[in-house]
Amino acid sequence: MIRAILFDFDGVMLDSLDVKTQAFYDMYLPFGKEIAERVKKHHLEHGGISRFEKFKLYHEQWLGIPTDETKIYELANEFSQRVFQGVINAPEVPGIKDFLENANNKYQMWVITGTPTEEIRKIVKAKHWEKYFKACYGSPEKKSYWTAKILQEEKLKPSEVVFIGDALADYEAAINNNTHFVLREHADNKQLFIGKNVLAIHDFINFEAVIQRIGAV
């Protein structure tokens, strides 16, 4: 029986991936189109990894620009300003609002994302979705950390938990903690999951039936 659902956010609940992809591209375009395209490709292939890790990689290893913690946070804050409103305004994945409304009294639900914790809490509040979730957790901690923390603190069995994600980081958080995993499949992640035996959905219409089926296994 499923008791808890862990949701990634971008690309799972909102079709907001393009907003963040464009922000990364625009921030690195001053260094040349080649580096901007490389950043874009890496970002799309490594969804779910925090922007802090990505900026450190792009600046230090790819551009050879030394960075300290202050500089990384400056870049992260600039990124946040570029994407915040765009994420809020992004289209909702079909069926998500109805599912949240109907599932609110059936399951415990959390958001676990690569977005910084304080930022995702502000976004969820701006969407008026905070009532649906026990908490929203993000970077700098990794998704596996938050998943393990929830399992331990809430005394949940892994078999009682479903992680719904669209990135390899989501899949790995589920695998590392032995929870169920559901892939929200879209054009940007199809290639990443070739060869992986995962249950895939495209939207949340009739998703309750999927949850029931998982819980019956």
Do residues 25 and 101 both lie within one domain? no
State yes or no: pLDDT of 113 exceeds 80: yes
State yes or no: pLDDT of 47 exceeds 80: no
Looking up residue 8, the CATH number of its domain turns out to be 3.40.50.1000
Do residues 144 and 203 both lie within one domain? yes
The residue from 72, 89, 106 where one domain ends is: 89
With 0-12 / 13-18 / 19 or more C-beta atoms within 10 angstroms meaning exposed / middle / buried, residue 179 is buried
The whole model's pTM is what?
0.90
The residue from 43, 73, 89 where one domain ends is: 89
Q: By residue range, what is the domain housing residue 46?
A: 17-89
Do residues 52 and 102 both lie within one domain? no
State yes or no: pLDDT of 216 exceeds 80: no
The residue from 89, 107, 135 where one domain ends is: 89
pLDDT digits (tens, 9 = 90+) for 124-166: 999 999 999 999 999 889 999 999 999 999 999 999 999 999 9
Separation between Cα atoms, residue 13 and residue 186, nearest integer Å = 12
DSSP structure string for 28-75:
HGGG-HHHHHHHHHHHHHTTTS-HHHHHHIIIIIIS-----HHHHHHH
Separation between Cα atoms, residue 38 and residue 187, nearest integer Å = 19
Do residues 105 and 189 both lie within one domain? yes
Over residues 176-183, the mean pLDDT reads 97
At 44 the pLDDT is 87
Do residues 120 and 183 both lie within one domain? yes
Cα dist from 145 to 57, 137, 215, whole Å: 21, 10, 24
Residue appearing with tokens 């992640």? 189
Separation between Cα atoms, residue 115 and residue 10, nearest integer Å = 9
Do residues 157 and 207 both lie within one domain? yes
Q: Give the number of domains in the chain.
A: 2
Do residues 83 and 98 both lie within one domain? no
Do residues 76 and 168 both lie within one domain? no
187-200 burial code (b ≥16 CB/10 A, e <16) = ebbeebbeeeeeee
Do residues 52 and 119 both lie within one domain? no
Q: Helix crossing, 33-45 with 17-28: angle to 10°? A: 150
